[in-house]
Amino acid sequence: MQSLLEKIYALQDIHTISKHEQIVLGIIDAIDSGIIKVGDKLPSINEMVTEVGYARKTFVKAYTELKERGLVESKNLKGYYIISKETKVTLKVALILFAFHSFQEDFYNTFRKELGKKYHIDIFFHHNNITLFKTIMDNISRKYGMYVIAPIQEKEIIPLMKNIPSDRLLLVDRYLKMPKDYSYIAQEFEKITYDKLVELVTQIKKYDKFVLFFKANTDLPPDILHAFNRFVKDYNIKHEIIENYESNMLKKGTVYFSISDNYLWQVLKDARKMEYRIGSDIGIIAHDDNIVKEIAFGGITTISTDFEMMAKKAAVFVKERATIHEIIPTYLRERNSL
């Protein structure tokens, strides 16, 4: 303990840093010097108050910052322990997404780039599974300085979110109704999907039938299903909802609307095999844009949110912690697939 205290005492004459910064930097210096190692227990807050003489709240603030950096973990009734030697990290961030789809990969890559090397990001996937989501939350609780979470849109998730202080939690991608002091940067699905389908109604009506691939109890947003049902009813369009794609099921004169990329790739594969011309024999609309959809088969028409914008705004929140409530714009990108 004495060697650790000497690192803290050595900073007391530097008047440009605060008392809690002296403690943080002293402990970091002790880690870098090998005085304390991963698994070692730090002196308790009461011991530090007695030895150093600063106010208790100063040590609470310092230990909290060390926890946020991912260097220290508090164990109930056991004290504070060193869990990492990555002292260059400013903040440790937990990023929880549905799955590593292409658009969520775009989000992650932009988010990672915007934060830079001083922020450590651990990424988790819940796959719209509430049991898995709860397990993840149990495992990472109180171990991160910031939580960026794409929530499952169920009421039983809300208490889990409320366990995280509002200035350390950002909800992304899906909207979940929370108290006003909690921040979100989300998509809107139902109204925007309906509106974009209305913009495409002339092209859709060139075909005999409109098919949506949609499987319940997955990570597909149910609001898109609601929008589809309202659209085909309002415009008297012959339609079908198909849960699972089967090989060679494509029919000429049909528009296929795919939210999942897995279904889309199967449609494109079969269209090539069956020698169907996309944009005349069959039509295709996809959700969530990426570079492959921009160039494949002359371009696939998409309805897509700007995930890079979402990621950039999320990075700003992590750095500044200013409350934000924002729905990210969704765009229709018309290409040759209709």
For residue 337, is it within any domain?
A: no
For residue 101, is it within any domain?
A: yes
pTM for the predicted model, two decimal places: 0.80
Sheet of 254-258, strands arranged across: 239-242, 209-213, 254-258, 282-287, 301-305, 330-333
For residue 61, is it within any domain?
A: yes
Report pLDDT for 115. 93
Domain around 163: 91-187+307-328
Coil, helix or strand at residue 214: coil
Whether 197 and 169 map to the same domain: the answer is: no
Q: What is the CATH number of the domain that holds 161?
A: 3.40.50.2300
For residue 335, is it within any domain?
A: no
Whether 198 and 301 map to the same domain: the answer is: yes
Whether 227 and 317 map to the same domain: the answer is: no
For residue 334, is it within any domain?
A: no
How many residues comprise the chain? 338
- Asked whether the beta carbons of 121 and 115 are under 8 A apart, the reply is yes
Among the candidates 82, 107, 141, a domain finishes at 82
Q: Which residues, at least 6 apart from 215, have a Cβ–Cβ distance to it below 8 Å? A: 243, 244
Query: How far is 323 from 248, CA to CA, in rounded Å?
Result: 50
* Number of domains making up the chain: 3
Report pLDDT for 253. 97
Whether 226 and 96 map to the same domain: the answer is: no
Q: What is the pLDDT of residues 217-229, one digit of tens each?
A: 888 899 999 999 9
- Asked whether the beta carbons of 190 and 223 are under 8 A apart, the reply is yes
Q: At what angle do helices 45-52 and 2-9 cross, to 10 degrees?
A: 60
Whether 179 and 315 map to the same domain: the answer is: yes
Coil, helix or strand at residue 256: strand
Query: How far is 145 from 93, CA to CA, in rounded Å?
Result: 6
Query: How far is 229 from 201, CA to CA, in rounded Å?
Result: 14
**Beta-bridge mates of residue 258:** 213, 286
Whether 28 and 134 map to the same domain: the answer is: no
17 vs 51, 68, 132, 179, CA distance in Å?
Answer: 20, 19, 43, 36
If you search the block for the tokens 């909800």, which residue do you land on? 171
Q: What is the mean pLDDT of each run of 10 residues along the chain (338 residues)?
A: 80 81 85 88 88 88 85 81 82 90 85 90 94 94 89 94 93 95 96 97 97 90 96 97 92 96 92 94 94 90 94 95 95 95
- Asked whether the beta carbons of 178 and 156 are under 8 A apart, the reply is no
Report pLDDT for 137. 95
For residue 30, is it within any domain?
A: yes
Report pLDDT for 191. 96
Among the candidates 27, 47, 82, a domain finishes at 82
Report pLDDT for 59. 86
For residue 333, is it within any domain?
A: no
Report pLDDT for 7. 80
**Exposure letters 101-123 (e unless 16+ CB within 10 A, then b):** bebbebbbebbbebbeeebbbee
Whether 289 and 199 map to the same domain: the answer is: yes
Q: What ranges in 170-306 are assigned the alpha helix state H?
A: 190-199, 201-204, 222-234, 261-273, 291-295
Coil, helix or strand at residue 162: helix
Whether 63 and 8 map to the same domain: the answer is: yes
Whether 60 and 198 map to the same domain: the answer is: no
Whether 152 and 293 map to the same domain: the answer is: no
Whether 15 and 116 map to the same domain: the answer is: no
Query: How far is 269 from 271, CA to CA, in rounded Å?
Result: 6
Report pLDDT for 113. 94
Q: What is the CATH number of the domain that holds 40?
A: 1.10.10.10
Report pLDDT for 286. 96
Among the candidates 82, 110, 134, a domain finishes at 82
Whether 319 and 171 map to the same domain: the answer is: yes
Q: At what angle do helices 56-68 and 19-32 cross, to 10 degrees?
A: 50
For residue 338, is it within any domain?
A: no
